[in-house]
Amino acid sequence: MKREGVVLALACAGSFVVILDATIVSVALPAIRFGLGFSADALTWVVNAYTLAFACFLLLGGRLCDEFGVRRIFVLGMSLFTVARLAAGLAGSPERCSWPARCKGSAPRC
């Protein structure tokens, strides 16, 4: 019973991180636009790049979990997500902000 509770807590924590990140980006869009000098069209791609990459790699993450194990891929995905989030947070220009958003969305999910 204890192991199932830990697994459930980790799955909920992973989902919470993804939802929290999307919410933070949505709330910060005006500050991103003015702080980094994004145009309205480029600002749309901040959210779209994350969403598209997440959707494209969701099935791949499930397949990787089948092949290499859920624990290993979960740790890899959360690590990649964290590094990409840090890089996006430290970006000083639109060019440096777009690749971490794509990378975050490509982190494997199980």
SS3 for 35-103 is HHCCCHHHHHHHHHHHHHHHHHHHHHHHHHHHHHCHHHHHHHHHHHHHHHHHHHHCCCCHHHHHHHHHH
- Which of 1-10, 50-59, 97-106 is most confident? 1-10
Here the tokens at position 70 are 């859920």
From first CA to last CA, the distance across the chain in angstroms is 21
* Average pLDDT of the chain to the nearest whole number: 77
Here the tokens at position 76 are 């890899």
pLDDT, tens only, 55-107: 777 778 888 989 999 889 888 888 887 887 787 777 766 666 555 555 555 44
Q: What is the pTM of this model?
A: 0.60
pLDDT in the model for residue 99: 53
pLDDT class of 30 with cuts at 50, 70, 90? confident
